[in-house]
Amino acid sequence: MDLNYFDRMALSAFTSLEKQSLYQLLCATMNVDGNRDHRELMMINEVIQVMQITSHDVEMSRKLSEQTMANCLRNMDTLKKAYVGKFIAQVILADGVITKLEEKFFYYMRQKLGLPETD
């Protein structure tokens, strides 16, 4: 994943709770079609790298309730939400197949979390 200076600055502003919530959401995204494809796992691992999500963050994410995760992501600023939407889309696109369930999930999460519309 190519990052420019502005990407790195924006991504460095994510808090630990936001990283944990993002990780939980990306894992849910991977599982929505019932197929844990290795390319989706690779994309999540790439996000872990660029976001500097620690093993502690991964462990703590398992303890988050869906409500806590949703509230955390919903309350982020618009720039952070744009990256969340981008990462969800990248996981969905990673296996080269977009199912109806994945499409519905993306639009549901965009509405539920107030993610900005992007091209």
Does residue 37 come out as left (phi exceeding 0), alpha (psi in the -120 to 50 range) or beta?
A: beta
Percent of the chain with pLDDT over 70: 99
- Number of domains composing the chain: 1
More confident residue, 118 or 21: 21
Q: Could you tell me if residue 118 is inside a domain?
A: no
Query: Could you tell me how far CA 113 lies from the centroid of its own chain?
Result: 11
pLDDT digits (tens, 9 = 90+) for 5-14: 999 999 999 9
Q: Tell me what pLDDT residue 82 has.
A: 96
Q: Could you tell me if residue 6 is inside a domain?
A: no
pLDDT band for position 118 (cuts 50, 70, 90): confident
pLDDT digits (tens, 9 = 90+) for 80-91: 999 999 999 999
The domain that holds 70 is classified in CATH as 1.10.3680.10
Q: Tell me what pLDDT residue 77 has.
A: 96
Q: Which residue has the tokens 């509230």?
A: 71
Tokens of 34: 């019932």
**Rg, the chain, Cα only:** 13
More confident residue, 52 or 119: 52
Range of the domain at 41: 15-113
Q: Could you tell me if residue 5 is inside a domain?
A: no
pLDDT digits (tens, 9 = 90+) for 41-65: 999 999 999 999 999 999 999 999 9
